[in-house]
Homo-oligomer: A and B are copies of this chain.
Amino acid sequence: MSSHRLTESELIARFFAPLAGEGALGLKDDAASFSPEPGHDLVLTTDALVESVHFLPEDSPASIARKALGVNVSDLAAKGAEPAGFLLSLALPEGWTEEWLAQFAEGLGEASRDFVCPLLGGDTVKAMGALTLSVTAIGQVPMGRIVRRTNAEIGDVICVSGTIGDAALGLRLRKDPAWSESLSREAKAHLADRYLHPQPRHRLARIVRDHAHAAMDVSDGLAGDLAKMMRVSGVSADIEAESVPLSPAAREAIKADPSLFDLALTGGDDYEILCTVPEKKLDSFLKEADSVGVMMSAIGRVVQGRETPVFRMKNSERRYNAGSFSHF
């Protein structure tokens, strides 16, 4: 059956209506209805993904769906907001198939359940070019409790979740497989997976908002994003490079080629939480993050000044210019 005999209504009913949250009116209306919890602010974010820019053409439909939702949920978590739902704009290129769409919807549904973020609405249109997706995610925080980028304070401890650099190394691996000959199979699989499947830290939302002065998600590289957060807070940062958390796979890659450490610090797509926490709340912060299964590492301090953050190594120090990484 030719995919082009499916009308937009049929496509929605078949693939997306099963994912619809309570306020979505079964995706049969022009718009969704959403009742915010009393005493809460909403947090709103939107991120677009374009084939060959934010993912690779050969990526599975389920992976693309998970990434599109995940990168948005990551933004919410960094603001201390629990996910409440999302809307999806999907521009499908010529030649899409029902099988592709079925797998995409299945992956989206799975991600939606994992991140506790139901589908509220969307729009499906014809792309003139590559597959292009845009997700708008809505989160909730108790009133006035959104965690901003701009409030880092001198003396705060700088913390980051998970491990850094895996996704950038994973992308490098895919673009240049020869480069990775020396890596173990496990390391390759780990890095490739981290590029494909960001793990938004939605479980940290409440913990971030109870402890952090400032937070953002690391999407454009730790060094560049840290520089941005310090700049808008009017401060600088002093980082122990050795404290930056690396996965065993990233360590293996960097051991084989030490120059890759710069890529790990400046490459994009980590989708980890970077935040600054007052010293007196640090123990409680690390403990609570651990209790929801997220490793959180203290990597340095917020310091006075306007300089680009410094990363101190054993025998040297490095400063990375801002804008070291950008999809645009």
A residues at B contact (CB < 8 Å): 7-9, 11, 23, 25, 28-36, 38, 41-54, 75-76, 78-79, 81, 85, 87-91, 93, 120-130, 132, 134, 136, 138-139, 141, 143, 146, 148-150, 216-217, 228, 232, 323, 326-328
Select which of B43, B48, B78, B127 is within 8 A of A50 by beta carbon: B127
Chain B residues near A127: list those with CB within 8 A.
50, 129-130, 132
Expressed in whole angstroms, the Cα–Cα distance for A123 and B326 within the complex equals: 12
A121 touches B44 (CB 8 A): yes
B35 touches A125 (CB 8 A): no
Chain B residues near A150: list those with CB within 8 A.
25, 28-29
B41 touches A33 (CB 8 A): yes
B148 touches A25 (CB 8 A): yes
Oligomeric state, in copies: 2
Q: Contacts A128-B51, A128-B129, A327-B125: A32 and B8 contacting too (C-beta < 8 A)?
A: no
Expressed in whole angstroms, the Cα–Cα distance for A298 and B127 within the complex equals: 38
**Whose C-beta in chain B lies nearest to the C-beta of A25?**
B148
Select which of B8, B85, B217 is within 8 A of A326 by beta carbon: B8
**Whose C-beta in chain B lies nearest to the C-beta of A42?**
B34
Expressed in whole angstroms, the Cα–Cα distance for A135 and B89 within the complex equals: 9
Chain B residues near A75: list those with CB within 8 A.
30-31
Tell me which of A35, A79, A136, A141 has the highest count of chain B C-beta atoms within 10 A of its own C-beta. Answer: A136
A42 touches B46 (CB 8 A): no
**Whose C-beta in chain B lies nearest to the C-beta of A76?**
B31
A44 touches B32 (CB 8 A): yes
CB-defined A-B contacts under 8 Å, sample of 20: A9-B323, A23-B44, A25-B150, A28-B149, A28-B232, A29-B149, A29-B150, A30-B78, A30-B217, A31-B45, A33-B141, A45-B121, A46-B123, A48-B134, A50-B125, A53-B125, A89-B89, A127-B132, A129-B130, A129-B132
Expressed in whole angstroms, the Cα–Cα distance for A47 and B87 within the complex equals: 10
Select which of B45, B93, B122, B125 is within 8 A of A32 by beta carbon: B45
Q: Considering the complex of A and B, which 6 residue pairs feature the smallest CB-CB distances, nearest first?
A: A129-B129, A128-B130, A89-B134, A31-B45, A136-B136, A134-B134
Select which of B76, B130, B138, B323 is within 8 A of A44 by beta carbon: B138
**Whose C-beta in chain B lies nearest to the C-beta of A130?**
B128
Expressed in whole angstroms, the Cα–Cα distance for A219 and B122 within the complex equals: 15
Expressed in whole angstroms, the Cα–Cα distance for A294 and B206 within the complex equals: 47
Q: Contacts A46-B89, A87-B44: A81 and B328 contacting too (C-beta < 8 A)?
A: no
B143 touches A35 (CB 8 A): yes
State the Cβ distance, A288 to closest chain B Cβ, in Å.
22
Chain B residues near A141: list those with CB within 8 A.
33
Tell me which of A8, A85, A132, A146 has the highest count of chain B C-beta atoms within 10 A of its own C-beta. Answer: A132
